Amino acid sequence: MAGTHNYKIFKCFNLKFTVSEPGPPDDVKYIFYKFSSGGDHLSADQLGLFLEKHQGESDLTSSDFTQIVEKILQLRNQNEENESIEKKNEEIETSTEAASSIEGISLDEFFHFLLLNDFNAPLKSQVHHDMNAPLSHYFIYTGHNSYLTGNQLSSDCSDVPIIKSLLDGVRVIELDLWPNSTRDDVIVVHGRTLTSPVALIQCLKSIKEYAFVKSHYPVIITLEDHLPTDLQANVAEMVTEIFGEALYYPETDGMAEFPSPESLKGRILISTKPPKEYLESECSSPTGQMDEPETDSKDESDEEVEDLNASEEKSLQQCAPEYGRLITIHAGKPKGQAKDYLSVVGNVGRLSMCEQRLLKTSASHGDEVIRFTQKNILRIFPKGTRVSSSNFRPHIGWNYGAQMVAFNMQGYGRSLWFMQGMFRGNGGCGYVKKPDCLLSRGPHGEVFNPTRALPVKTTLKVKVYLGTGWSSDFSQTHFDSYSPPDFYTKVCIVGVDNDKVKKKTKVIDDDWFPVWDEGFEFPLTVPELALLRIEVREYDRHESDDFGGQTCLPVFELRPGFRSVPLYDKKGSQLKSVRLFMHFVFVSC
């Protein structure tokens, strides 16, 4: 563990600071003098005590603390000496040993150390959740129509968004399978739309190549199948040949419990309807989409839409046996009454429903939904009218234990920011352990109710000190043609309804390096499901405020103490230099 930390420490010590950046806040000065016992320098032992007591760093050693101080002192000497690299290296080794024995790091060096993103990031970079529970015990990073490059009706289909999703940590990829025009090959396309197809084999090869670049935990491919038996057999051959030993499927039909992410490392799983359901009709939504039945009408019920789809019945042939045996996670769609399709008896499987159906079902059968998700997998997908590839608020699914909240990853907006934020947790591996409240039952079988008012469990105290990096990442006239920007920061909680709150700092006028030095308190009843949403805006008196960066952080993952918080653009890509200097502390009730 120490070796990993050493690598993280030293690879980020080349950060440069400009003279125009603000100096240490008063809180940093106070902490520095507290741990230095009033001295002008912080020794390795004193730095170690600070990291342990204030920052909560429990897995660093005294050797790590010494190396941090020595590295900072080396950089000090490098900046002071204007000599050749060879001569510097010889003198630095000698001067560092002498310096470290009589002094440590200064206040400014301490502050600059705290601003290092890699070492003082707000979240842990390693996987640290228990990964040995069944798959149903995790939220899983899930894509919807993963092959689309843009909108749902006329954009191109490609393996490029699949690759990007995998590199971003997405673990569930959705492919819609159709026969090509000559019915002798399989294509991936959004059926009955104007989208252009991509060959299935290209998508499979890209999944094989990029599946485990970002994360070693399992990739699940959900298939929406519109194929005759002979092409199903072709798919089985393709999948088996391309994935080889990475392909996982059970030896027997059905499973009483899902395997764990840990046991499935490096494996690829197939999820689709079991063979018996291929005799059912193909269903098209009112918008022409070929997803499971869904509705976006204010006066149409799900049952009415199912009746509409039944009128377009078109029988499929029996599933090819070589194809059917590759299905690890059997999928289905809601039929009949909620008490029937939410039954938890028998083998485990996956149920798929649209966002509207979940809202309706959870309102009347919330307990049954949570009991279902304790053992089975629930997938929630966007309603059919989201043709622009927009998304819904993911807590609609997470608050009821839904593991696969399927999102249009090619879109952007706050809902996607929430999704990206949740899966920054647990080292960004794409699997986040669900909180115990969603997995446990009371003595009489009672389960968690996300709509019920609960007592405050903890209070999160957040302080926003300052921001930096905009002058490097944006042009001088990006925010205002004639003066420096006027920044303010929004700090919000997103989670169960009773925990949601929005706050913001004051506006700092005409400053590329704003100093707010403002604190906020957030009493939380279910911190395990809460996200801290942070967004910097540039105040505009005459038009809408300009966007200056954002991030979402899972509250249950926040590291206490002083933290350097990187910000992201609207699509979720990290800005090169922009970051906030913040402080987090939890106060238990």
Ordered by where they begin, the domains of the chain are 2-114 (no CATH), 135-438 (3.20.20.190), 458-588 (2.60.40.150)
Selecting among 144, 330, 365, 395, the annotated active-site residue is: 144
Structure tokens at 290: 């070929």
Only one residue has tokens 């309603």, namely 383
Q: CA 494, 495, 498 angle in degrees (round to 5)?
A: 105
Largest Cα span, the chain: 86
DSSP β-ladder status, 198-199 and 219-225: unpaired
pLDDT of res. 96: 46
Residues in the chain, overall count: 589
pLDDT at 286: 27
487/365 Cα distance (integer angstroms): 45
From residue 164, how far is each of 157, 386, 393 by CA, in Å? 14, 21, 22
Burial 243-277 (b: 16+ CB within 10 A, else e): beebbbeeeeeebeebbbbeebeebbbbbbbbbee
Amino acid at 56: G
Helix (H, G, I), strand (E, B) or coil at 452: coil
Instruction: With beta carbons less than 8 A apart as the criterion, state whether 354 and 384 touch.
Output: yes
Distances (CA, A) of 559 to 48, 147, 223, 564, 565: 16, 36, 38, 11, 11
- Contact call for residues 537 and 545 (beta carbons, < 8 A): yes
Q: How many CA atoms lie within 13 A of 584 on its CB side?
A: 22
Residue 216: other Cβ atoms inside 10 A: 16
Q: What is the pLDDT, as a whole number, of residue 87?
A: 54
| Alpha carbon distance 334, 81 (integer Å) | 71
Is 190 designated active site?
A: yes
Residue 314 exposed, middle or buried by CB count within 10 Å (0-12, 13-18, 19+): exposed
Spatial separation of the C-alpha atoms in residues 140 and 485, rounded to whole Å: 39
Q: Is 129 annotated in the active site?
A: no
Residue whose token pair is 């209070």: 459
Assess contact for 291 and 408: CB atoms under 8 A: no
**Catalytic-role residue among 129, 190, 330, 583:** 190
Task: Give mean pLDDT in consecutive 10-residue pieces for the chain, a chain of 589 residues.
Answer: 45 50 95 96 95 92 88 76 53 48 82 91 97 98 98 97 98 98 97 96 98 98 95 97 96 89 98 65 33 35 34 54 94 90 89 97 97 97 96 98 97 95 98 98 95 97 98 95 95 98 98 98 98 97 94 97 98 97 95
Map residue 331 onto helix, strand or coil.
strand
